[in-house]
């Protein structure tokens, strides 16, 4: 494969400070303006700041191996990295409408310079900024997106945690008679199905497709597990309304599954189910399983420090936590007295994502809402904070992403789901049906 010259935009380093080894044997060119942009972000206390600091440290380490202005070899099988100095830019090649003060435009000027000096080799601008790629194309430059943590090719193939499995009619009867029912790898292979630990299986009779049963698969050496019974007033007067909510609650109440992920559209009940399970195991029928509930969600802009304005962290987080409070009040009743009391006692904690790093969280039921706005690095940071006897639940809607550094296939929630699907310590279910109201369900389909 022919060697290429790659001009690396700032956002690539801000999303993945380990990108240096991911460009094969191609030469990397970093416009000097990128260093200034990295310097602006290095004090941030989120994943962007982390990657900025790590990138700067990597540049410093490479500096010891040679001259960055002339080019430094990145390693065996890799190309070189060279800074493009300000005097090398061809700003006169930029159209009059493009400001010479813009960082993006100066990076494009560097790309034009590299292209002019190496006409026989492809010059490509690598950027996660859509507008940057459009302008580059308008200037006659080749462009590519950079996706650091994409784990699936499209959202249509993201693991759902639920699958249909054809079985003989008698197996469903045995299942309802509370006999052990086993599934076999040969049957799964015939049906083109791959089963994972804690995946839910709808057993469907080959003789009558309306004859079904839902169970949870563990492994090929154990029988499938029936779902627990959910009465009319299961927890706090609320009960799961559809099969996905029942599957989710089954995972949320299982002591042996410390990590649960729930995704679904707005109004599907993912946050409500998580709150119900947490309250039940801290304050309800299963009281004492965990000592407290910790609830958090990303603050937009993503991971941004909550600031120095007057007020407690709870007061600053209140606007972002309103959906959580709405769910708590729905469960506990409209009177906030009980909710406020539990928060004062520390039984229910509201925490900022920023402050989770560095903690070791034990004996807690942790809910991270809107987790689709987290990066893969932030999800790793959160999951590695989990101590003994702690359950962590990630909820989110991958169709509503506000983080400019991720998308449906590379966000932290999707990353965690795909990476953990083979682990017996985790469980996942995708909520399909809206339960907020008929209008909300219709809106999620039509709009």
> Would you say residue 198 lies in a domain?
no
Tell which residue, 440, 280, 442, 300, has the closest CA to residue 369: 300
Q: Who's near 251: CB < 8 A, 6+ residues apart?
A: 198, 257, 260, 427, 428, 429
Residue after which a domain boundary falls, among 127, 144, 161: 144
For residues 131 and 253, state if they share a domain: no
The DSSP symbol for 163 reads E
Q: What is the DSSP string of 345-365?
A: HTSEEE--GGGTTT--B-SEE
- Say what the pLDDT of residue 208 is: 93
Is 333 within a domain?
A: yes
Which of 109, 144, 179 lies at the terminal end of a domain, its last residue? 144
| CB 215 within 8 Å of CB 227 | yes
Same domain, 252 and 363: yes
DSSP character at residue 54: H
Residue 309 in domain: yes
Q: Please name the residues in contact with 120: beta carbons below 8 A apart, sequence gap of 6 or more.
A: none
Report the C-alpha gap between 447 and 443 in whole angstroms: 5
The answer to whether residue 202 sits within a structural domain is no
CA–CA separation, 196 vs 426, rounded Å?
10
The radius of gyration computed from the CA coordinates of the chain, to the nearest angstrom, equals 26
Residues 81 and 69: their CA atoms lie apart, in Å, by: 9
pLDDT digits (tens, 9 = 90+) for 121-166: 999 999 988 899 999 999 999 999 887 667 777 788 899 999 999 9
Q: What is the pLDDT of residue 153?
A: 74
**Residue 19 resides in a domain:** yes
The answer for residues whose C-beta is within 8 angstroms of residue 334's C-beta and 6 or more apart is none
On whether the CB atoms of residues 46 and 303 are closer than 8 A, the answer is yes
Q: What are phi and psi of 189, to 5 degrees?
A: -65, -40
Please tell me the distance from the alpha carbon of residue 45 to that of residue 270, in angstroms, as a whole number: 29
Provide the CATH number for the domain around residue 373. 3.40.50.300
DSSP 386: B
Q: Is 188 among the domain residues?
A: no
- What whole-number distance in Å separates Cα of residue 368 and Cα of residue 296? 5
pTM comes to 0.80
> Is residue 20 domain-shared with residue 128, that is, in the same domain?
yes
My answer on whether 135 and 246 are in the same domain is: no
Give the separation between CA 443 and CA 426, rounded to whole angstroms: 32
Cis peptide bond N-terminal to 146, omega within 30: no
140 and 248 belong to one structural domain: no
Residue 434 sits in the same domain as residue 304: yes
Under 8 Å CB-to-CB from 356, ≥6 apart: which residues?
Answer: 296, 381, 382, 385
Q: DSSP state, 238?
A: B
Task: Report which of 426, 262, 429, 287 is spatially closest to residue 347, judged by C-alpha positions.
Answer: 287
Q: How many CA atoms lie within 13 A of 264 on its CB side?
A: 25
Among 97, 113, 144, the domain boundary falls at 144
Q: Which residues of the chain have pLDDT under 50?
A: 301-306, 308-309
In this predicted model, what pLDDT tens digit does every residue of 329-376 receive, in sequence order?
777 776 677 777 888 888 888 887 777 766 788 999 999 999 998 888
Q: What is the structure's pLDDT at 227? A: 93
Backbone torsions φ then ψ of 106, nearest 5 degrees: -70, -35
Give the other-Cβ count within 10 Å of 445's Cβ.
Answer: 8
CATH value at residue 54: 3.40.50.1010
Domain containing 270: what range? Answer: 241-446
One domain for residues 115 and 247: no
Q: What share of the chain is helix, strand, coil (3-state, %, to 5)?
A: 40, 20, 45
Query: Residue 144 forms beta bridges with which residues?
Result: 126
Count of Cβ atoms closer than 10 Å to residue 355 Cβ: 13
What is the CB neighbour count within 10 angstroms for residue 4?
20
pLDDT for res 27 = 95
Identify whether the C-beta of residue 84 lies closer than 8 Å to the C-beta of residue 110: yes
Structural domain tally of the chain?
Answer: 2
The reply to whether 231 falls in a domain is no
Asked if residue 178 is part of any domain, the answer here is no
Could you say which DSSP state residue 399 is in? Answer: T
**What is the end-to-end Cα distance of the chain in Å, rounded?**
44
């Amino acid at each position: 494969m022919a060697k290429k010259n790659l001009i690396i935009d700032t956002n690539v380093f801000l999303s993945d400070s380990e990108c240096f080894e991911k460009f094969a044997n191609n030469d990397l060119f970093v416009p000097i303006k990128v260093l200034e942009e990295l310097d602006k972000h290095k004090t941030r206390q989120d994943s962007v700041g982390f990657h900025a600091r790590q990138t700067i440290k990597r540049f410093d380490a490479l500096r010891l191996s040679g001259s960055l202005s002339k080019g430094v070899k990145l390693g065996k099988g890799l190309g070189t990295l060279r800074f493009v100095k300000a005097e090398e830019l061809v700003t006169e090649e930029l159209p009059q409408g493009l400001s010479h003060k813009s960082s993006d435009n100066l990076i494009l000027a560097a790309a034009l310079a590299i292209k002019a000096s190496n006409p026989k080799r492809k010059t490509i601008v690598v950027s996660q900024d859509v507008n940057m790629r459009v302008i580059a194309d308008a200037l006659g430059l080749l462009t590519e997106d950079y996706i650091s943590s994409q784990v699936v090719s499209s959202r249509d193939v993201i693991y759902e945690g639920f699958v249909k499995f054809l079985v003989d009619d008698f197996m469903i009867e045995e299942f309802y008679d509370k006999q052990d029912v086993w599934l076999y790898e040969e049957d799964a292979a015939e049906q083109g199905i791959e089963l994972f630990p804690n995946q839910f299986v709808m057993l469907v009779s080959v003789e009558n497709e309306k004859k079904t049963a839902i169970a949870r698969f563990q492994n090929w050496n154990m029988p499938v597990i029936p779902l627990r019974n959910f009465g009319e007033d299961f927890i706090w007067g609320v009960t799961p309304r559809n099969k996905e909510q029942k599957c989710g609650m089954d995972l949320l109440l299982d002591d042996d599954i410390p990590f649960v992920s729930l995704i679904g559209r707005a109004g599907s009940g993912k946050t409500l189910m998580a709150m119900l399970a947490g309250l039940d195991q801290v304050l309800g029928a299963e009281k004492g399983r965990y000592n407290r509930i910790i609830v958090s969600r990303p603050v937009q802009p993503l991971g941004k420090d909550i600031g120095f304005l007057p007020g407690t962290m709870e007061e600053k987080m209140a606007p972002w936590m309103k959906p959580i409070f709405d769910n708590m009040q729905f469960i506990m009743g409209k009177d906030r007295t009980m909710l406020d009391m539990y928060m004062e006692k520390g039984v229910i904690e509201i925490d900022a994502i920023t402050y989770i790093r560095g903690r070791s969280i034990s004996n807690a039921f942790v809910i991270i809402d809107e987790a689709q706005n987290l990066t893969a690095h932030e999800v790793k940071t959160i999951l590695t904070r989990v101590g003994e006897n702690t359950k962590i639940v990630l909820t989110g809607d991958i169709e509503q992403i506000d983080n400019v550094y991720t998308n449906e296939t590379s966000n932290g929630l999707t990353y965690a789901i795909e990476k953990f699907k083979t682990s017996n310590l985790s469980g996942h279910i995708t909520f399909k049906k809206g339960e907020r109201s008929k209008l909300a369900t219709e809106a999620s389909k039509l709009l």
